[in-house]
Amino acid sequence: MTDLTKLTLVNSIKNIKEKKCSATELVGAYVKRIEKSDKLNCFNTKDLENALNKAKKIDANQKLDKALVGAPIAVKDLFCTKDVKTTASSKILSNFTPTYESTVTEKLWNEDAILIGKLNSDEFAMGSSNETSHFGNVLNPYRLNNENLVPGGSSGGCASAVAADLTTATVGTDTGGSIRQPAAFTGIVGLKPTYGRCSRWGIVAFASSLDQAGPMTKDVKDAALILDVICGYDEKDSTSANKPKSSFLNSIKNNVKGLKVGIPKEYRVDNMPKEVDDLWQDGIKILKDNGAIIKDISLPHTKYALPTYYIIAPAEASSNLARYDGVRYGFRTEGKDLTEMYENTRSKGFGTEVKRRIMIGTYVLSSGYYDAYYLKAQKVRNLIKIDFDTAYQNVDVILTPTTPTPAFKFGENIDDPIAMYLNDIFTVTANLAGLPAISLPIKYNKDGLPLALQLFGKSFDEQTLLNTAYSIEQQVNFKSQVKDWWM
């Protein structure tokens, strides 16, 4: 019998609907792999027994008509799940059990997907290597000469879990690249939808004007299916958009004829490894050979995107994370009075990177510095958005590499915040401009590590993005080379 965990999400569900396998068999296959994969440390919480019970219930119910019927899905531990611990990979929330469900995960369970666990990430989604998690490092299933590599971040547990076949698919969150960069490092597909496409309700907030949930999957069709399920207006999130749409999955087309693809010259950064530049040329060639029109474009303020992000994101974070005060939920450390209790709780409850960002955020918002930093960044954010608006008058999508390098070793960047931040140099613009973007695995470098390209789309035009990614996927025929060395 074929290994059920190797199938895509779309094919797993097809199998269940056609009764080629039961939900219990599918969930059972994943449970077995998860139990042998503790070494990767993908899971903050496993919910295996409940998952098997739910599978039995689905099998007993003759109706197998829901979009995700019987699919075991683990989600980033940033989505509140009713009665299942939700920690944001932080000590300060290490004992928090939500009494409600996030909108995005509720939509998954409404389609008969089955929660199988909560996935590790950087603490409060702040990081690019998953090294800031309170619950330890996640290992990338790909290694460099038998040496462990980071899975990327912040959705590192999500990325490794999909790549290692520990979940059929997952949902992560992306504030500056947290879906796309780890997807690139682990050879999977990661899609950040347009800001407002999915409800943020019930997701632990990091930077509210940038955060967006999205699919991380084995292939492009799986991403389309998950997006179909999780998107939509939600009255509990006033920034969620009420846009009519048909099914992304059913509308997918392998056709890029006449598609106008922009190549932004500013993304050719200094010191970009040759393998990444070659990869970019490969992508251009594939699209050109299939009838797309390639256009050189300019996004002149690209170099200012990361500095802008590192004012706006910490500013919003310092405000969002003010709620962790040791009073209403979460971890508390006592103090001699109320103020000291707050200060001790937050000092011991948050990790180094989170504290660093709260401090920077507090500083740039503080009296006397607000105009020089925060207001300035809000203006440059507008310039970056205008760059894209101008470019999209002439092109339909924009093609770039997802990351400047493939996955790196543990400890390589952790002592230098700026070096770590540079990981998001190609991804962060999509968040600032609110645009959809997808990371797609293309090939392996000479060391056997996955390399990925990124496509930006127009606002609320995920369909063109998915079509283009699907067309490239059909050409490159990227196959997993994960070797199960940890088992």
Partner 1 sequence: MSINKDTIKKISKLARISVAKEETDRLEKDLNSILKFVEQLRELNTDKIAPIASVSDQALTMNRDEIKKINEKEEILKNAPDKNSNYFIVPKVIE
Q: What span, in angstroms and rounded, lies between the C-alpha atoms of 410 and 192?
A: 26
Tokens of 150: 């980071």
Q: Residue 337 interacts with partner 1 (CB under 8 A)? A: yes
Q: What span, in angstroms and rounded, lies between the C-alpha atoms of 190 and 180?
A: 5
Beta carbon of residue 464, minimum distance to partner 1 (angstroms, whole number): 19
Q: 181, 159 in Cβ contact below 8 A? A: no
Nearer to partner 1 among residue 55 and residue 358 (C-beta): 358
- The binding track of 196-215 with respect to partner 1, each residue x by CB under 8 A or -, is x------------x------
Q: 324, 339 in Cβ contact below 8 A? A: no
From 135, 350, 408, 470, residue interacting with partner 1 (rule: CB under 8 A): 350
Whether 154 is catalytic: yes
Q: 196, 434 in Cβ contact below 8 A? A: yes
Whether 178 is catalytic: yes
Q: What span, in angstroms and rounded, lies between the C-alpha atoms of 34 and 40?
A: 10
Choosing from 37, 121, 129, 154, which is the catalytic residue? 154
Q: Residue 360 interacts with partner 1 (CB under 8 A)? A: yes
- The binding track of 458-487 with respect to partner 1, each residue x by CB under 8 A or -, is ------------------------------
Task: Specify the stretch interacting with partner 1 by CB under 8 A; choose among 7-15, 61-69, 239-247, 469-477.
Answer: 239-247
Choosing from 128, 178, 318, 439, which is the catalytic residue? 178
Distance set, CA 75 to CA 47, 106, 310, 436 (Å): 11, 12, 26, 20
Q: 91, 351 in Cβ contact below 8 A? A: yes
Tokens of 431: 């968040």
Beta carbon of residue 350, minimum distance to partner 1 (angstroms, whole number): 7
Q: What DSSP assignment string belongs to 51-88?
A: HHHHHHHHHHSS---STTTT-EEEEETTB-BTTB---T
**Count of positions on this chain that bind partner 1 (CB under 8 A):** 75
Choosing from 54, 66, 76, 221, which is the catalytic residue? 76
3-class SS at 304? helix
Which strand (E) or helix (H) includes residue 263? strand 260-264
Nearer to partner 1 among residue 8 and residue 97 (C-beta): 97
Q: What span, in angstroms and rounded, lies between the C-alpha atoms of 162 and 117?
A: 13
Nearer to partner 1 among residue 43 and residue 342 (C-beta): 342
Nearer to partner 1 among residue 218 and residue 346 (C-beta): 346
Nearer to partner 1 among residue 50 and residue 378 (C-beta): 378
From 19, 328, 446, 479, residue interacting with partner 1 (rule: CB under 8 A): 328
3-class SS at 309? helix
DSSP strands (E only) in 59-111: 72-76
Beta carbon of residue 313, minimum distance to partner 1 (angstroms, whole number): 11
Whether 348 is catalytic: no
Chain residues 364-423 in contact with partner 1, contact rule CB under 8 A? 364, 366, 369, 372-373, 375-383, 385, 416-418, 421
Which residues are identified as catalytic? 76, 154, 178
